[in-house]
Structure 1
Amino acid sequence: MKFILSLVAVFTFFFQSSDLESLRNSYAKANQSNANTQSFINIAEKQSSTDPVISGYKAAAQIMEAKVTTEKGKRKSFVKTGATSLESIIKNNPNNIELRVIRLSVQENIPKIVGYHSSLKDDKLFILNNYSKQNQALKAYIQRFAAQSKTFTPADKASLK
């Protein structure tokens, strides 16, 4: 019986991990084109996990849906719903660095007129202060994000080694 439970746990972890990698990879490419944005939204919508990081990506997908929707009246509601959800997830998981990366990237890329950019400095500082405590996969992901980020200075980027 313990063996069966162990197998179930391993398979669950493996598939959740691959779901997270799929979301990360798709999210990293989402801003390159509307097709990539739509692909990321589709991948995020298929996720049913209650993991806070996956929920964070789903919230980012809601925000990004404003970019690709053809219904102009819905853009504001997509951003508001996604931002509220992301803020709630971060409030409940304030020490999760990947959620901070998600919010930082959203706030960097959303038009300034929307007014959702108040956490840029805090998130950057949190990422820089907690980077060394992360696993190698997450460190690599953060390095790739920081390399293209407008918020990280060259000195900040150099410190993420």
Structure 2
Amino acid sequence: MKLILSLLTGLFLFLQSSDLEALRNSYSKANLSVEGAKDFIELAEKKSSSDPVISAYKAASQILEAKVTTEKNKRKTFVKAGASSLESIVKANPNNAELRVIRMSVQENIPKIVGYSKNLKEDKTFILNNYSKQNSALKSYIKKFAQQSKTMTAAEKNSLK
């Protein structure tokens, strides 16, 4: 019985990590093109999980939807709903580095006129201070994000090893 439970738990964790890896890969390509954004939105909408990281990617997809929608009057709605959701997820999980990366990337890439950029310095500091505590997959993801980050300096990018 314990063996079956262990196998099921292992399978669940494996499937959840592959879902997360797929979301990470898709998200990293989402800002490169409209097609990449649409692919990420579609992938995120299919995911249902109580995992705060997956929920944060779903919130980011809502915000990104404002970029690709053709209905101008819905853009503000998408941004407000996604930002509100993302903020509540980060507030409930303040020590999760990946949530901080997601929020920082959203705030870096959203037009300044929207006014959603108040956490950039806070998130950058948290990411830099907690980088060494992360697992190797997340460290790799953070490094990749940092290389294209507009907020991190060259010295800060180089400090991530």
TM-score for both structures, normalised by structure 1? 0.99
Give unmatched runs, 5+ long, in structure 1. none
**1:123 aligned residue:** 123
Could you tell me how far apart the structure 2 residues matched to 1:64 and 1:158 are?
29
State the AA in 2 paired with 1:136: S
Could you tell me how far apart the structure 1 residues matched to 2:74 and 2:116 are?
17
Instruction: Show CA shifts across 1:89-126 (max 9, x none).
Output: 00000000000000000000000000000000000000
Could you tell me how far apart the structure 2 residues matched to 1:5 and 1:143 are?
36
Could you tell me how far apart the structure 1 residues matched to 2:51 and 2:121 are?
26
Shift of 1:70: 0.8
Instruction: Show CA shifts across 1:52-72 (max 9, x none).
Output: 000000000000000011111
Does residue 155 of structure 2 align to residue 155 of structure 1? yes
Could you tell me how far apart the structure 1 residues matched to 2:4 and 2:70 are?
48
Could you tell me how far apart the structure 2 residues matched to 1:36 and 1:87 are?
24
Could you tell me how far apart the structure 1 residues matched to 2:51 and 2:39 are?
21
State the AA in 2 paired with 1:36: G
**1:49 aligned residue:** 49
Could you tell me how far apart the structure 2 residues matched to 1:136 and 1:6 are?
24
Could you tell me how far apart the structure 1 residues matched to 2:70 and 2:2 are?
52
Query: How many residues are matched?
Result: 161
Instruction: Show CA shifts across 1:24-56 (max 9, x none).
Output: 000000000000000000110011111000000
Shift of 1:6: 1.2
Shift of 1:5: 1.1
TM-score for both structures, normalised by structure 2? 0.99
Could you tell me how far apart the structure 2 residues matched to 1:116 and 1:137 are?
28
SS of structure 1 residue aligned to 2:50: coil
Shift of 1:2: 1.4
**1:70 aligned residue:** 70
**1:61 aligned residue:** 61
**4+ aligned runs moved over 6 Å, structure 1:** none
Could you tell me how far apart the structure 2 residues matched to 1:35 and 1:131 are?
31
- State the Cα RMSD in Å: 0.5
**2:138 aligned residue:** 138
Does residue 12 of structure 2 align to residue 16 of structure 1? no
SS of structure 1 residue aligned to 2:31: helix
Identity %: 71
Could you tell me how far apart the structure 1 residues matched to 2:153 and 2:119 are?
16
